[in-house]
């Protein structure tokens, strides 16, 4: 570790022997023992700047010429060298880590861009298959219509032109924003408002504090989201219950309305039946009164009346047959009399025909 540090600080030191390198390292640390250098706190923890290293290298040459006797490093000087090497390695690791994180971010962005392009190509392929390959086939010829292919390509080119215009506007806006930011940074540098290392450390501390607060707020937001999700679930449950109860209420209202109408009809029917019952009761009372007041004939008298009624019906039927025969004889006599009148010229022939036609219509009916 010490030889690596000496080779990095003074390349010529690694070519010589180990004792010589140790003497050069002691001269590199300021040409004085570490006990004197520890009087300035924090001076040893800082990484030496390139200008200071160059100046120390020049001093190393002079001290190298002056000190020909090899000097061993003290444990404190070794600890200082190890601390510097550890800090430099840590800084190198941080730098490499930041560099690989940038590479990882770039690769992730490229992968996302490739995925987006793949989705776009799939979408374009699907639309081309749907609109041109399948939808653009002529039913009569069974071939793809060239106009639809040309129209599809023109639409795509028009869409790409629109996208290019949007990207140009966005690029111009970003370029203007970058120019403004550079101008502001240049103005701050001129005004002496550039931040130093201490300011960066303070900002990092504040940033960590704010990150911790943000994490706390995020945890609170997550808890509130969980509570809100539970509340939404309960609300949806009550909404479903309300919808079910509303449907049941509507059904009950419709049932109540129908039953109310049925009750009104039943009441009307009951009133009508009641009135009819009263009427029938009055009729029954009258019939009871008539039955009590009337006298029932004897059986023989009823039989005689029945026989007399049968004879009268037979006589009536006989008289009706006689009347029918007489009417037929009368009609025949009238016809004969009409023909005699027609022959004698008493009735004109036209009138006779009209009466005959009316008579036939009457017979037909």
The string of DSSP letters for 169-194 reads HHHHHHHHHHHHHHHHHHHHHHHT--
CA distance 127 to 226: 41
Please report the pLDDT score of residue 69 as a whole number: 53
Please report the pLDDT score of residue 178 as a whole number: 92
Q: What is the pLDDT of residues 305-340, one digit of tens each?
A: 889 999 999 999 999 999 999 999 888 888 888 788
Quick check: 319 and 312 in contact, CB under 8 A? Answer: no
From residue 214, alpha-carbon distances to 193, 199, 223, 226, 243 in Å are 28, 22, 14, 18, 41
Q: What is the mean pLDDT of residues 238-251?
A: 91
From residue 224, alpha-carbon distances to 219, 230, 322 in Å are 9, 10, 115
Q: What is the mean pLDDT of residues 130-138?
A: 76
Please report the pLDDT score of residue 14 as a whole number: 44
Q: What is the pLDDT of residues 262-311, one digit of tens each?
A: 999 999 999 999 999 999 999 988 888 877 776 666 788 888 888 999 99
Please report the pLDDT score of residue 192 as a whole number: 61
Domain ranges of the chain: 2-114, 136-185
Q: Mean of the per-residue pLDDT values for the chain?
A: 77
Our measurement of the distance from residue 128's CA atom to the centroid of its chain's CA atoms, rounded to an integer in Å, reads: 27
pTM of the model: 0.30
Q: Tell me which residue of 59, 73, 58 sits closest to 23, measured CA to CA.
A: 73
> How many other β-carbons are positioned within 10 Å of the β-carbon of residue 24?
25
Please report the pLDDT score of residue 286 as a whole number: 86
Q: What is the mean pLDDT of residues 47-58?
A: 44
């Amino acid at each position: 570790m010490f030889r690596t540090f000496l080779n990095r600080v003074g390349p010529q030191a690694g070519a010589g022997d180990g004792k010589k390198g140790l003497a050069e390292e002691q001269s590199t640390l300021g040409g004085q023992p570490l006990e004197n250098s520890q009087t300035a706190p924090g001076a040893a923890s800082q990484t030496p700047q390139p200008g200071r290293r160059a100046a120390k290298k020049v001093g190393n040459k002079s001290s190298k010429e002056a000190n020909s006797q090899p000097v061993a490093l003290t444990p404190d000087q070794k600890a200082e060298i190890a601390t510097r090497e550890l800090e430099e390695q840590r800084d190198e690791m941080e730098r490499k880590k930041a560099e690989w994180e940038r590479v990882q971010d770039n690769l992730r962005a490229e992968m996302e861009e490739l995925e987006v392009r793949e989705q776009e190509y799939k979408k374009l392929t699907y639309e081309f298959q749907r609109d041109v390959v399948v939808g653009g086939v002529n039913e009569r010829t069974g071939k793809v219509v060239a106009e639809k292919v040309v129209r599809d390509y023109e639409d795509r080119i028009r869409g790409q032109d629109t996208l290019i215009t949007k990207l140009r506007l966005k690029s111009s806006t970003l370029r203007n924003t970058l120019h403004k930011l550079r101008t502001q940074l240049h103005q701050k540098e001129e005004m002496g408002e550039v931040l130093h290392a201490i300011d960066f450390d303070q900002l990092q501390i504040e940033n960590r504090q704010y990150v911790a607060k943000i994490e706390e707020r995020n945890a609170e937001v997550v808890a509130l989201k969980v509570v809100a999700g539970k509340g939404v679930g309960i609300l949806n449950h009550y909404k479903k219950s309300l919808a079910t109860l509303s449907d049941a209420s509507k059904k009950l209202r419709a049932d109540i309305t129908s039953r109310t109408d049925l009750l009104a009809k039943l009441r009307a029917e009951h009133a009508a039946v009641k009135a009819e019952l009263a009427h029938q009761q009055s009729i029954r009372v009258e019939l009871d009164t008539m039955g009590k007041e009337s006298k029932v004939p004897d059986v023989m008298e009823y039989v005689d009346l029945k026989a007399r009624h049968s004879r009268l019906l037979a006589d009536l039927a006989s008289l009706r047959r006689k009347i029918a025969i007489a009417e037929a004889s009368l009609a025949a006599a009238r016809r004969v009399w009409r023909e005699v009148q027609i022959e004698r010229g008493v009735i004109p022939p036209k009138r006779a025909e009209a009466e005959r036609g009316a008579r036939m219509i009457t017979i037909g009916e």
